[in-house]
Amino acid sequence: MTSKTTPESPLPIRTVLQMVGGWIGRLGTVWVEGQITDLSARGGTVFLTLRDPVANVSARVTAPRGVYEAAEPRPADGARVVVHVKPDFWVNKGSFAFTAMEIRPVGVGELLARLERLRRLLATEGLFNADRKRRLPFLPGTIGLVCGRDSAAERDVLENSRRRWPAVRFKVEEVAVQGPYAVGEVTEALRKLDADPEVEVIVVARGGGSLEDLLPFSDETLVRAVSACRTPVVSAIGHEQDSPLLDLVADVRASTPTDAAKKVVPDVGEQLTLVRQLRDRGRRVLNGWLDREMSWLTSVRSRPSLADPVRELERRAEQVDALRERARRSLSGSLDRASDDLVHLRARLIALSPAATLERGYAIVQHPSGEVVRLAKDVAPGTPLTIRLSDDRLSVRTEE
């Protein structure tokens, strides 16, 4: 039933609360799931807060002591349970709560089955792929540490890291590492450290515990938050046998908080030993190279050309002088032979020349055109001719 109200005709608060109580009463009984916190008992009644496993919401629950003690095993703070409840609304106080009619702890088998379904879902999305893993820096300037308040895990990481590398720096975020507040606080600490430009690697550390204790580190919200981090994340949850989903999504898994310290910082003693070994190796390599070069220089110096370089230059100079003299003699002989050949050739040319024939008393008869007269019949009477002698010319005219 809905009543129409106005500023002039408001409903009394008791009427509204009675209406709310009526609506809630009609809801009947329901089964709900959550995580127990703030567990306490007074007289025959047990009081607890039931937190939603995913969202940050909760509700008060009252249970008769008999109902609580009937649960097997008896749930404690942090336990995941399924509760058969009846919603109640107290009009006089205007408050809402559940009354438990039956409490059933969520069994380990059911929890493991849920975790396996979530693991498969996240694996299908690629959150656990090896190619998403980032390498840790060799020597991070600042390490972010997410851990429990004043916990053994915190001491293990800090002490072992500083023992390995005394100058290492930490930014520590202390949070709840189990219970209903763990997921929200760890996620917020991750966000804060991931946004810090000085932090180069983040370690999430917690000691061992039961499956229920470690459930926050398999929470989907936290796993996705780690996957979204830009800073490399190291998971150091529980002991060797513990394996929450955080181990699968983290860039590096450490079996224990102590192992995390070994993975994020190098051991100064080991590094000094390595430096000494590299220095000794470098010295041996350099000395070996110097020995080889000295041997080569010794062999080079023992060569005659370098044993007495002046004598070698003198020998080369003597060779040059000998070659030069040989070339001079060869050229001189060639010139002499060429000169003799020219003399003989000149003599032959002179002996065979027409001028030499003319000097012996012969003459050459030529037409005015310069053509040589070879036969008398080729000359007509009265033809002017030129007679060439050895030193002069005569002009004549033929007769019969």
Same domain for 247 and 379, yes or no, is no
Same domain for 182 and 90, yes or no, is no
Supply φ then ψ for residue 170, to 5 degrees.
-130, 150
Distances in whole angstroms, Cα of residue 348 to Cα of each of 184, 286, 343? 128, 83, 9
Which two three-digit tokens encode residue 245? 């989903």
Contact between 50 and 59 under an 8 Å Cβ cutoff? The reply is: yes
DSSP state letter for 368:
T
In a domain, 329, yes or no: no
Distances in whole angstroms, Cα of residue 235 to Cα of each of 74, 201, 251? 31, 11, 8
Contact between 37 and 30 under an 8 Å Cβ cutoff? The reply is: no
DSSP letters along 200-257, please? EEEEEEE----TTTTGGGG-HHHHHHHHH-SS-EEEEESSTT---HHHHHSSEE-SSH
Give pLDDT, residue 170. 94
Give pLDDT, residue 147. 93
Same domain for 117 and 261, yes or no, is yes
Structure confidence at residue 400 as a pLDDT band (50, 70, 90): low
Range of the domain at 22: 13-106
The residues, ordered by sequence, that sit 6+ positions from 220 with a Cβ below 8 Å of its Cβ are 54, 118, 122
The residues, ordered by sequence, that sit 6+ positions from 217 with a Cβ below 8 Å of its Cβ are 186, 204, 206, 235, 237, 244, 245, 246
For the cut 80, the answer to whether the pLDDT of residue 100 exceeds it is yes
d(CA 34, CA 32): 7
H or E element in which residue 196 lies: none
Give pLDDT, residue 242. 60
* Mean pLDDT value of segment 66-82: 84
Which two three-digit tokens encode residue 353? 């020349």
Highest mean pLDDT among 74-88, 235-249, 274-288, 304-318 belongs to 274-288
Please state at what angle helix 220-228 crosses helix 182-194, rounded to 10 degrees.
Answer: 0
In a domain, 336, yes or no: no
Same domain for 225 and 154, yes or no, is yes
Give pLDDT, residue 28. 85
DSSP state letter for 74:
P
Is the whole model's pTM more than 0.85, yes or no? no
Same domain for 207 and 239, yes or no, is yes
Of the candidates 183, 176, 188, 159, which has an alpha carbon nearest to the alpha carbon of residue 244?
A: 183
Give pLDDT, residue 392. 81
Same domain for 61 and 47, yes or no, is yes
In a domain, 327, yes or no: no
Give CA angle at 240 (239, 246), nearest 5°. Answer: 75
What is the tens place of the pLDDT at every residue in 280-313? 999 999 999 999 999 888 887 777 766 677 777 8
For the cut 60, the answer to whether the pLDDT of residue 1 exceeds it is no
* Mean pLDDT value of segment 108-136: 85
* Mean pLDDT value of segment 86-93: 85
Same domain for 26 and 55, yes or no, is yes
What is the tens place of the pLDDT at every residue in 218-237? 889 999 999 999 999 999 99
* Mean pLDDT value of segment 105-124: 79
d(CA 277, CA 272): 9
DSSP state letter for 353:
S
Q: Name residue, tokens 């796993």.
A: 223
d(CA 400, CA 396): 13
- Choose one of 76, 106, 136: the last residue of a domain: 106
Contact between 80 and 105 under an 8 Å Cβ cutoff? The reply is: yes
Highest mean pLDDT among 234-248, 295-309, 356-370 belongs to 234-248
Give pLDDT, residue 93. 82
Specify the higher pLDDT residue, 240 or 339: 339
For the cut 90, the answer to whether the pLDDT of residue 145 exceeds it is yes
In a domain, 144, yes or no: yes
DSSP state letter for 130:
G
- Choose one of 106, 132, 150: the last residue of a domain: 106
Give pLDDT, residue 207. 85
CATH classification at residue 239: 3.40.50.261
Of the candidates 182, 188, 177, 185, which has an alpha carbon nearest to the alpha carbon of residue 153?
A: 177
Give pLDDT, residue 3. 61
In a domain, 271, yes or no: yes
Contact between 360 and 329 under an 8 Å Cβ cutoff? The reply is: no
Same domain for 287 and 223, yes or no, is no
SS3 at position 52: coil
The rounded mean pLDDT for the chain is 86
Same domain for 198 and 155, yes or no, is yes
The number of domains in the chain is 4
d(CA 145, CA 375): 138
CB neighbours (10 Å) of residue 227? 16
Q: Pick the range with the lowest mean pLDDT from 60-64, 130-134, 178-182, 300-304.
A: 300-304
The residues, ordered by sequence, that sit 6+ positions from 325 with a Cβ below 8 Å of its Cβ are none
Same domain for 84 and 210, yes or no, is no
In a domain, 127, yes or no: yes
Give pLDDT, residue 37. 85
What is the tens place of the pLDDT at every residue in 199-219? 999 999 998 777 777 888 888
CATH classification at residue 46: 2.40.50.140
Highest mean pLDDT among 103-112, 222-231, 372-381 belongs to 222-231
Give pLDDT, residue 112. 75
In a domain, 321, yes or no: no
- Choose one of 106, 130, 162: the last residue of a domain: 106
Supply φ then ψ for residue 343, to 5 degrees.
-65, -45
Same domain for 376 and 386, yes or no, is yes
Percentage, residues of the chain above pLDDT 90: 36
Same domain for 95 and 236, yes or no, is no
In a domain, 194, yes or no: yes
Of the candidates 222, 221, 223, 220, which has an alpha carbon nearest to the alpha carbon of residue 249?
A: 223
For the cut 60, the answer to whether the pLDDT of residue 168 exceeds it is yes
